Amino acid sequence: MEDPVILSMEDPVILVVEDEAGVRNLIRYVLETAGYAVLTAGDGEQALQVSRKFPTTIHLLVSDVLMPKLGGIELCEQILRERPAMKVLLMSGTVEQPPEGVEFLRKPFQAEILTQLVRRLLSGR
């Protein structure tokens, strides 16, 4: 886990979980450029560890659906038990039918689409 870049105490914190390092780093860059503090993990098990060690609020989970060890759907179920106020955005290039009631982003996507969706989720609209 890399330490997030905290610009101010009001910065929303986002946990990005993606098993492909290049995709994970690109998402991190896009979100940090948009002003968000970003934590990263390479799979669901690592994401749970990151979440448990992070002392303050994590506002949004952005996770791939299909990952080794612990997939995105299972991760959501577990992490929301510990952080029920956390919002969730799942993404996939292979899953055809996203889980009901969960925000979903199909890969590949444009950076602008990601930031717009994240902004909407964090604003509660």
Q: CATH code at 18?
A: 3.40.50.2300
The structural domain count of the chain equals 1
SS3 content of the chain, % helix, strand, coil (to 5): 40, 20, 40
Range of the domain at 69: 13-123
Report the candidate in 40, 44, 50, 33 with the shortest Cα–Cα distance to residue 14: 40
**Tens digit of pLDDT for each residue in 41-93?**
999 999 999 999 999 999 999 999 999 889 999 999 999 999 999 999 999 98
Cα separation, 19 vs 33, whole angstroms:
21
pTM for the structure as a whole = 0.90
CA distance 36 to 100: 27
Q: pLDDT tens digits, residue range 89-123?
A: 999 988 767 677 789 999 999 999 999 999 999 99
Report the DSSP beta bridge partners of residue 91. 64, 105
The Cα–Cα gap between 15 and 18 comes to: 10
